[in-house]
Structure 1
Amino acid sequence: MSAPEPIPGARLLFSNDAAVAQLNHGSFGLVPIPVQRAQQRLRDEVEANPPRFFSVGLEERIAHVRRHLAAFVGADPDLTALVDNATTGTSTVLAALGGGDGGDGGSLGSGDEIVTTDHGYGAVDLAVDAFCRRTGASRRVARMPLAPDDDAAVEAVLDAVTGRTRLVVVDHITAATARVLPVRRIVEAVRGRAGERAAVLVDAAHAPGILPDPVAGIGADFWVGNLHKWAYAPRGTALLSVAPRWRERLQSLVVSWNQDAGFPDSLEWLGARDYTPWLAAPTGLFVLRSLGLDAVHRHNTALAEHGQALLAEALGEAVPPRTGLPMTVVPLPQGAVTEPAAATALRRRISDELATEVGLAAWRGCGYLRLSAQVYNREDDFQRLVEGLPKLLRR
C-alpha cells in the first residue's frame, strides 16, 4: 500500500509547527487558518463593543449557527443544542436523569444500572462513576473484543442489559481503539429488550466530519458529538441532540438568564461566555466542503492505514482489522504499556524525543498507539515514528 497523493493546497490551510509530526488530530484537532481568522474577527467585534455584542442579536446568531451545524450532522435543530464538548453533553444528560425516585420513566436512582462498554472514553466513565456515587446507581461494563463485528458488539451490550438498566452509553467511534460500533442496531436491540425503560446515549465525539449524517436514523435518546476534531471547528464546539420525550428534562448545568426558556436556549446562553468558537464553526464546514468531504475522507483514511501498516511492520505487530477511518491503532510490544500512567509517560517521551504527537492508551493491559491522519500530513510524518519508535522502546 502506498501513501495517497496530497490534496493540492490543503497543507497551507493549517498553521501547525512544521518541526513536529502531528499524528494526533483525533484528540484536539487543528483549526484551519481561515477559521482562526474568522474567530479573531469575532473576538475583535466583541472587544470593540462588548455590551452591544452580547445584547443585540447574539441569541439569533447562535440559533442560526445551531441550525447550520445540526443540518450537517442530520439532526433536528429544535432538538439540538450547542455545548462545549461531548463530555459536557454527557454530564448534562446524566444531570437530567438524576432527579426523581426512578419511577417516572427516566430518572435514575438507587439500585438502577448504567451500561457502558470497555471501549468507552475514560472521562465519560469517570462522569458515570461520579453520578453513580451521588445517586446510588451502579455501572455495568459490556466487554467486547478489540475489533468486534456488528453482531458481537450488539450481543456484548445486550449481555450487560438487565431489568435494572436505565441508561446505555455507547460510542459511535471509539477513541482508544478506533472502531465504528453499530449504534443504530444497538439502539434497536436495547429498545427491543428494555423498551423505553432504558435510554441510550451515543457518544459520537469523533463522528462529525467522518461519518455522513451521524445523527439521522439512529433513534437514540441522546447523541453528542464534537465538531472541533474532524469538522474543522474551533475547540469548544459540540452538539447535543435529544429525542422529543427528553426535551423538557434537559437543563443547563449552570443556571443563567435563559433558564426558563427551556431546551435548547437554556443550555446555550451562559452570559459572558466566549461564543466565538460556535460563531466561527460554519467557516470550518465551508473549508471542509471546499476541499471535498469525500476527498478528505479518502485521503485521510488511506494515509492513516498506510502509516499503520508501516509502523506495525517496524514493531513486528499484526495490523488490526481496518474500519475505513482516518484513525488507526497499532498494538505495542507486550509489556511496553500496561496501565494508563505508562501510556501517558510513553506518549510524552515520543513527543519529547521524536517530536511526534500520537494518541496512546492502555486497553486491557496492552498498549495501543493511535495514529490520526489529516490533510496536512505527509508520509514523512509517519516515517519519523517508524524509524524512531522501535529504538525508543528498546531504550
Structure 2
Amino acid sequence: MTDRPWTVLPPEPLAGTEGLFSLDPAVVHLNHGSFGAVPVPVQQLQRRLYEEQEADPDGFFADLPGRVAAARARLATALGTEPELLALVPNVTDAIAVALANVPLAAGDHVLVTDHGYGTVNEAVRRRAEEVGAELRTVRLPLDLPDGDAVREAVLAEVTDRTVLAVLDGITSSTARRIATPELLRALRAGGVTTVVDAAHEPGMLAGPVPVEADFWFGNLHKWAFAPRATGVLVVRPEWVGKIRPLLLSWEDHQGYPASVEWRGTLDYTPWLAAPAGLDVLDGLGPGLVREHNERLAAYGAALVAERTGLAALPTSAGLSMRVLRLPPAVAETQPQAQELMAAMWRRHAVRTVARPWPGGGVLRVCAQLYNRAPEYGVLADGLAELLG
C-alpha cells in the first residue's frame, strides 16, 4: 500500500495519546461520532467536582452560577464567539427546541430542511411547522452530489418568497457533508431567511469560529471536543439575545439569556464545569495535529473498507474525521435493517459502528479518533465482507 496517495495512508499514533482514554481494548470503537469518549483527565476532574457537590450541596449550588459563567466564557473564547451570545445546554436536542420555540412562524410560511438532516431535528421542525400551519419543504440532495457550489445551489433553489426559516446541518451526521457553509448562510440571510445550524459535530472537529451569519448555531462538545456528556452550546446572533424565552421557567429566568436557558434547578452541572478541561487536552496535544490525524485515519479506514468490500465511498468534505460508504440495495434501507447490521457487527466481531437507513441501500459511517489504530479498520472491513457475502 505504499504507492497509495497520502490521503489513504494511516497516520502514526499521536504522541501523548497512549492511555488517554479508558475504553475497553476488547472492543473496536469506530463510532466516536455518536457518543464520543471522555479523556481520563476530564473524567477525573468531573468525579472530583461530583464529590465536591456531595460534600456540601448548598455551597456547591450557591457558587454554581459564577462557575458556569466562567466555563461559558472559556468555551466562548475557544469557539470564537462572545460569552453573552453562548448558552450551555445538555445537547443539540435542547438547543433546537429553544430555537424553534423562539423563531416566529405562521400559517403559510415555508420552512426548509434537507434529507441529510438529523432525524430528530427534522422531526422537531416538522412538528413545529405542523403546529402553526407552516409548510415543511425538504431539499433532496443526492448522495453523490459534489460538495460546495452544487449543495448551495440545490438549497437556494428551494427558497421561495414565503421561506422564513432554514434548518441546516453544519456537518451531516449520516453522510459527513458540510451544508451550512458561511457562503450559503450569507445568501439565505440576504434573502431574509432565518437560519438555524445544527453543528452537532463541529466543535473540536473544525477550526473555524462560529459563523456570524447564523441566527442560531448549536453543537455538542462531547463528540470531538472531549467534554463529558451531556454538554452542548447554543449561540445566537446579538439581536436575538433579548428575545429568547427559555423552555422552562427557573430562578435564573430574571437574568435573561444565557442564564435563563442554562438553569435547570438540580440538573447535574458537573459536565459543564469539566468541559474546559477537554479543551485543555485538545490544546495540549495540538488541535491542528489532532484534526490532521483524525482526517487521515478516517480517509484510510474508508479506503480500506471500500477496497475489501467493494462498497463505494461517498463524497465528503475536507477536514472531517468521518467518512461514509454506500451499502448495497436492501441492506440498511430501513431503521430495523440498519440496527440489525450494527448488532451483527457487534455480536460477531465486537465492532461498534453505525449504519443509517437510506432509500436504495443504507450508509455506513466510519469515524476516527486518537484512540483508533489502522488494524481496527481491517476488522471492520473483513467483518462487513463476511456479513454482506
TM-score by length of 1: 0.93
Matched, 1:44 2:51: yes
Which residue matches 1:157? 155
Shift of 1:365: 3.3
- Mapped to 1, the partners of 2:127 and 2:184 lie a distance apart of 25
Alignment of 1:151-300 (within 5 A): 151-192=149-190, 194-195=191-192, 198-216=193-211, 218-300=212-294
Q: Please tell me whether residue 9 in structure 1 is matched to residue 20 in structure 2.
A: no
Q: Which runs of 5+ in 2 are unaligned?
A: 1-7
Q: Which residue of 1 aligns with 2:4?
A: none
What is the match of residue 124 of structure 1? 121
Mapped partners of 2:122, 2:357: distance in 1: 15
**Deviations, residues 233-292 of structure 1 (Å, cap 9, x unaligned):** 001111101111211221221111111211001011111110000000011000111111
Identity, % of aligned positions? 47
Letter in structure 1 aligned against 2:217: W
Superposed, 1:94-105 pairs within 5 Å as 94-97=100-103
Deviation at residue 181 of structure 1 after TM alignment: 2.4
Q: Does the 8 Å contact 2:199/2:217 carry over to 1?
A: yes
Indicate if the aligned counterparts of 2:31 and 2:353 stay in contact, CA closer than 8 A: yes
Give distance in 2, aligned partners of 1:30 and 1:182: 26
Residue 108 of structure 1 contacts residue 137 of structure 1 at CA under 8 Å; is this kept in 2? yes
Root-mean-square deviation over aligned CA pairs: 1.3
How far the C-alpha of 1:295 sits from its partner, in A, is 0.9
Moved over 3 A (4+): none
Q: CA deviation at 1:322?
A: 4.1
How many residue pairs are counted as aligned between the two chains? 380
Gaps of 5+ in 1: 98-106
Aligned to 2:3: none
What code does the residue aligned with 1:360 have? Answer: A
Q: Distance in 2 between matches of 1:255 and 1:213?
A: 34
TM-score by length of 2: 0.95
- 1:262 and 1:383 map into 2 onto residues whose CA distance is 52
Q: Which is worse superposed, 336-345 or 116-125?
A: 336-345
**Partners of 1:357 and 1:248 in 2: CA distance:** 44
In structure 1, C-alpha distance between the alignment counterparts of 2:147 and 2:13, rounded to whole Å: 32
1:102 alignment counterpart: none
C-alpha distance in structure 1 between counterparts of 2:138 and 2:316, whole Å: 24
The separation in 2 between residues aligned to 1:182 and 1:92, in whole angstroms, is: 19
